[in-house]
Structure 1
Amino acid sequence: MKRLTIFITALLSLPAYAAQLTLELGDTRRTWQTVELLKHPAAQEVRIDDDVSYKRAMTYRAIPMASLLEGIKPEDHLQAVALDGFAAELSAAPLLSQNGAKAWLAIEDPEHPWPALGKGKPSAGPFYLVWTHPQASHISPEQWPFQVARITRQRAVAERFPVMRPDPALPVDSPITQGFNLFQKNCLACHRLNGAGDSQFGPDLNIPYNPTEYFGADFLKRYVRDPQSLRHWPQARMPGFSTRVLSENELDQLVSYLQHMATRKVTLP
């Protein structure tokens, strides 16, 4: 029994390098272990002045995303899936860019764990997509996925989920079409629509009811800006979208898209 106790104590004292990140980039698939990423030749210390998740300055051991996305082109589309079902839709171009905003994969060292995101919550690790100078490319909070487990190359959202598309007869510069683009960037990471989408995080925004059917437009906009101002719920997870993230014109476009999709519902099994 004494030997078993010593063995268990020694085992628990070892660094916990069990976390892994899977990259599925078309024809290639690779799984990275934490220890490999921490020792990656491109890894360096990166300071994030205004971290979206921690709401303060943070310093990480991180790798430029461009160093990991071998074979990916700017016109490609990627998806980052988190442990909790959050699925961020990401254009590859900003992730590959070396100018303006720059994307980094932050790696949590088990020997020096990051702080919890809140009382009773885990940290943002083991892998977290962060940005330096995010304002330069209008990077939204939904483009900062944390607890990332997998990054995959995907077809464009409109191809994968045609039931999300607005009427194809609409011009590309229509507020509704622009709203669809904003929906992909800011909403699809958490929500489905017409039963379509990969996220397991939040409710469907069209089935059985679209929020424009039970919120007046002004109240819906207030809800997007500050969810707690309409529904005070300590366990709520939806963040507010400030005018810095979503301008008034963009919010109008997003609501226009949702109103339009309320007329294009599908029948689910």
Structure 2
Amino acid sequence: MKFLSLLFTALFSLPSFAAQLRLELGDVSRTWQTAELLQHPAVQEVRITDDVSYKREMTYRAIPLATLLDGIKPDDHLQAVAQDGFAAELSAAPLLNQQGAKAWLAIEDPEHPWPSLGKGKPSAGPFYLVWTDPQAGHISPEQWPFQVVRFTRQLPVAERFPAMRPDPSLAADAPANQGFVVFQKNCMACHRLNGAGDAQFGPDLNMPYNPTEYFGTDFLTRYIRDPQSLRHWPQARMPGFSRDVLPDAELAQLVEYLKHMATRKVSTPERQP
């Protein structure tokens, strides 16, 4: 009985959860435990004035993400993977910034858990990518992934998913090519295109129909700015993209990319009657 009593005491004295963050950065791989990160010398208290997920001011124990990205260069590409499979595509350059918009890995302390994201929902932990001064870098809501469990270095999107690429004959500075970059930053975390991509949440943006085929440009841009203004849906998950996040010029480039890709649909087997 004494042994059982000691066992129960030990079990209930453990933290409420033990989380791991996996970093797969090419030649460098490492798994961090919550306790290790909370004790890291670079950890500090960070105040986020307008948190994307909690819609209010929040304060976190956080570490500059660049501190953990050993060997990563500005032209590298990373993917942040969440517990539910959400995969945010992230250019490395903004993550390495030390001035202006700065990326932080917020770490949920088991002894002081964060609030729920809503009724019946978990918190944004165990790890959450947050930003200070996000307006300085036009940081998109898709660049704030929460419930993160892994950061992985990846090949560029154009190499991994050639079905998403604009026509190779286009000039590098063509609007469709510029819009492809905007698409990667703002859309790929939730949407596939031509069946390509890792997203599991929103609809494919080219198959069977491209939004430019059923939205006029004015309504499409309005929808991207404020989805609820066109389709009021209480359970809708698509965020609006303000001009601070997605300037008018970049929104126009995104629309040009979508229009272009409507002419480059992948071939699919005919449906059976």
> Same fold by TM (over 0.5)?
yes
Query: Would the aligned equivalents of 2:140 and 2:241 in 1 still touch at CA under 8 Å?
Result: no
Query: Whole-Å Cα distance in 2 between the matches of residues 57 and 196 of structure 1?
Result: 36
Query: Whole-Å Cα distance in 2 between the matches of residues 252 and 178 of structure 1?
Result: 10
Residue 102 of structure 1 is matched in structure 2 by 102
Query: Would the aligned equivalents of 2:128 and 2:148 in 1 still touch at CA under 8 Å?
Result: yes
Query: Whole-Å Cα distance in 2 between the matches of residues 159 and 2 of structure 1?
Result: 61
Residue 161 of structure 2 is matched in structure 1 by 161
Residue 61 of structure 1 is matched in structure 2 by 61
Residue 35 of structure 2 is matched in structure 1 by 35
User: CA RMSD for the aligned pairs?
Assistant: 2.0
Query: Whole-Å Cα distance in 2 between the matches of residues 155 and 57 of structure 1?
Result: 35
Query: Whole-Å Cα distance in 2 between the matches of residues 234 and 13 of structure 1?
Result: 41
Residue 193 of structure 2 is matched in structure 1 by 193
Per the TM alignment, residue 7 of structure 1 is displaced from its structure 2 partner at its CA by: 5.7
Q: How does 1:95-174 map to 2 (within 5 A)?
A: 95-174=95-174
Alignment: residue pair count: 269
Query: Would the aligned equivalents of 2:158 and 2:164 in 1 still touch at CA under 8 Å?
Result: yes
Query: Whole-Å Cα distance in 1 between the matches of residues 149 and 61 of structure 2?
Result: 17
Residue 256 of structure 1 is matched in structure 2 by 256
Q: What amino acid maps onto 1:238 in structure 2? A: M
What secondary structure is seen at the aligned counterpart in 2 of 1:158? helix
Query: Would the aligned equivalents of 1:17 and 1:33 in 2 still touch at CA under 8 Å?
Result: no
| Deviation by residue 1:125-178 (Cα, 9 ceiling, x = unmatched) | 110011111222222221111111110111111111111011111122222111
Q: Percent identity?
A: 80
Cα pair distance change 1:223/1:4, threshold 3 Å:
farther
Gaps of 5+ in 1: none
Residue 88 of structure 1 is matched in structure 2 by 88
Gaps of 5+ in 2: none
What secondary structure is seen at the aligned counterpart in 1 of 2:105? strand
Query: Whole-Å Cα distance in 2 between the matches of residues 55 and 192 of structure 1?
Result: 27
- TM-score normalised by length of structure 1: 0.93
Q: What amino acid maps onto 2:229 in structure 1? A: S
